[in-house]
Every structure is written in C-alpha cells, then in structure tokens.
Structure 1
C-alpha cells in the first residue's frame, strides 16, 4: 500500500542545522511514519540539567523525542520555535555555539535520544517555503 501525502502518514518534525561554521538555524517539516531509523542504541533523560539557557551544539546527530514537557528553543539569529510531545527534533547543529532552550511549562523535560550516524538519512521533508 503506497503512502499518501496526508498528515496521518507523517509525524511533525523540526530540524536544527548549521548554516555555516558558527551559526545554526531550524526548519519545520515532517518525517514519514513507519520509517526505519538506522540506530544502534537510544537513551532516556529526564529533568532539565545544566544546559538550559546555555548555548550549546548538539553533541552528535540525533533524533530527540519529547515524551513530556514544552520547550522554547532559540537559534543563533534569535529565532525561536516550540518543541512539545508529538514533534520530533532532529538535532544536526553539531558545530559552533549551537542553540539554547528553556522549559516553558512546568520544570520537566522527559525525552529519548536516538543517535544517528553521520551518513544516515533522516528522511526529513521540509515544509514549503
């Protein structure tokens, strides 16, 4: 059965990426459901930790799946986006000062990290400009 281009066959996603060696930006889009992720492991994290409000790049290319929490991310030019359950974050801003984030509702952020190889395809489809 072929997938159709409707919201039921995709999951919303936001991709963080480097625009050059020092800046990062983001784009909104989607990834297909039933998409195989080429990963060897995953790990979970709770709480906000020490990186909230501190600029940092992603430590590796990774999917970040939010289970609980609502956050505002800020990229180097000051643009922001909201991340919450139901939106997959694809963190690929591995160079430069990176991004910041802060929890906007409550004080929890439960998430799963799925590291991906540098040559793996994320199947991300950007929204039309």
Structure 2
C-alpha cells in the first residue's frame, strides 16, 4: 500500500506543471529536458508508420485534463521479451518513477525516458520498440491503459520529429 501511495503522489506531482524542451541530438539519441512550465507534462508518443515500422514524436500532455482510464498498475520487474522489439500490448501511458531508459524504435532512432517524462505507447502493430536501462538496475513505472477510443490528450511539439 505504501508503494501505491508513493506512486499516486509522484504521478499527481508530475502532472502539475512541467514542459518538454528538446536538447541537442547527440548522435542518433534524442534526449528531452524537463523544465517547469505551467499546464504541460513532457511526453513522447510511440506511433506506427505505414511501412510497419515504429517511430516517435515529442510533445506534451496538458495538466489537469482527465484521461479516460479505469485502472493502473505498477511494476519494477522486467522479462526478457520486454527488452526485445515488440509492439505495445495496448494504448497506454507509461510513467517512470525511477530509472533512465533508452528506447529504440524500429525506424532506428532512439530516445531517453526518465522520471518526469510520460511515454505514450501507441505502436500497436508491426516491429514496435525495444528498450534498455541506462546506468540503473531497475525501472519502476506505472502502466495506465487508455479506454478504447479515448483521447490520449497528446499534443505534438512544433519540432516533434527528431
């Protein structure tokens, strides 16, 4: 119960006022910088391409907007299949509480997720994505599935493509 209370508190705090600013692209790894800004939470959305590959776009989730969800769960375990390329099992937010994760999408580009940046997994078909932990041994996260057909609330940044 204590971990759930901590997770809810962290998610609540996270949804109050941060925005996304892209840092310079180092090699082919995109990193995002989390800075305080009223009304926005930085986010990266995984999307399917017509050719069956997956790519991503940078943007934000507006704060204080209610997403259509009915459940969530936490995880700090990983299975081998999760680290191999796979599509998302459902449309969902993945909120990192602890850890730094490098995602690789099937178009070859990569990006980093850290606490304060919401991942929106919507790459439901094709080759999908893979990930690995960076300078950490565990990844603590919340999975928050979206209801079927619900608005994901994602707003793409002007420079959303890598």
TM-score (normalised: structure 2): 0.73
* Map of 1:8 onto structure 2: 38
Cα offset for 1:111? 0.5
Deviations 1:46-87 (A, max 9, x none): 133223530000000000000001000001111000001000
**Structure with the larger RCO, 1 or 2 (CA within 8 Å, 6+ apart):** 1
* Map of 2:88 onto structure 1: 58
Alignment pair present for 1:37 and 2:67 = yes
Do the aligned partners of residues 42 and 21 (structure 1) sit closer, same or farther apart at CA in structure 2, a change above 3 Å counting? farther
| Unmatched 5+ stretches in structure 2 | 1-18, 20-35
What SS does structure 1 have at the residue aligned with 2:81?
coil
8 Å contact 2:60–2:155 — kept in the other structure? yes
* Map of 2:103 onto structure 1: 73
Runs of 4+ in 1 over 2 A off after TM superposition: none
* Map of 1:23 onto structure 2: 53
Q: Within 1, Cα distance between the matches of 2:81 and 2:63?
A: 30
What SS does structure 1 have at the residue aligned with 2:149?
coil
Q: Within 2, Cα distance between the matches of 1:52 and 1:116?
A: 20
Cα offset for 1:117? 2.2
* Map of 2:113 onto structure 1: 83
* Map of 1:106 onto structure 2: 136
Q: How many residues align?
A: 125
How well do the aligned residues superpose, as a CA RMSD in angstroms?
1.6
| Unmatched 5+ stretches in structure 1 | none
Cα offset for 1:45? 0.7
Q: Within 2, Cα distance between the matches of 1:77 and 1:44?
A: 29
* Map of 1:49 onto structure 2: 79
**Structure 2 counterpart of 1:122, from 152, 158, 162:** 152
TM-score (normalised: structure 1): 0.90
Do the aligned partners of residues 88 and 123 (structure 1) sit closer, same or farther apart at CA in structure 2, a change above 3 Å counting? same
